[in-house]
Amino acid sequence: MSIRINPSVLNCDFMRIGEELDRIADADRAHIDVMDNHFVPNLTFGPSMVEQMARRSPIPLDAHLMITDADRHAVAFAEAGAESVTFHLEAAQAPVRLARELRKAGAQVGVALRPATPVEPLLDILGEFDMVLVMTVEPGFGGQSFLDSMLPKIRRVREAISAANLELSVQVDGGIKRETIGRAAEAGADVFVAGSAVYSVDDAAAEIAALRRLAAEHSH
């Protein structure tokens, strides 16, 4: 499994978003948390802001849509230039159709699960996706602590992907830092969203490198 580090811009200085994107140029993708103040109690970016970031960013965008009515709004983020678009299973009426629409719009497709959402409804449709995002905090705000109770879920997702003989990434988002990334990698994650861990240090590139190394040491 190739390890990918996708820093979340949720923890950056929004007044200097261009330079903040440049700080993470060594990462694999910039993780863009899209929140609508309905699905989660926070409000961030719409498609036009994502489009501006896609034009400016030195690395591709990984858009995580924490929005209700994903069926109606998700494709706009693919059209805005996000390389990968992840919607929440809880927010989609027709996840298979939406996955195919996103792919037609040129994006890779991820599906996300909140901590309390079981893996089982996904198992028969795993082949429609490029990535499963297991939330390791309740979505909505940066800086929360990693939920170790999600490790068995990461393991179940990875085992289901292997059993179906599929090639999917398993992304984790929430509380990822040097102290927790090894446990998530050991459980089967290979894409790691780190927000405050990267943006709270002076040398973001060194932190990205350290996280990548620790994840690689623990991955199978």
Catalytic residues: 33, 173
**Distances in whole angstroms, Cα of residue 20 to Cα of each of 30, 117, 205:** 10, 33, 12
| Residue among 85, 89, 90 nearest 110 (CA) | 85
Tell me phi and psi for residue 193, to 5 degrees: -95, 115
Report the distance separating Cα 32 and Cα 196, nearest Å.
14
Q: Which long-range contacts (CB under 8 A, 24 or more apart) does 125-129 make?
A: 125/95, 125/96, 126/160, 126/161, 126/164, 126/166, 126/168, 127/164, 127/166, 128/95, 128/96, 128/99, 128/100, 129/99, 129/168
Question: Who's near 160: CB < 8 A, 6+ residues apart?
Answer: 119, 122, 123, 126
- Give the helix ranges, DSSP H, for 164-199: 178-187, 196-199
- Comparing CA positions, the residue from 51, 64, 43, 40 lying closest to residue 17 is 51
| Token pair of 187 as six digits | 């459980």
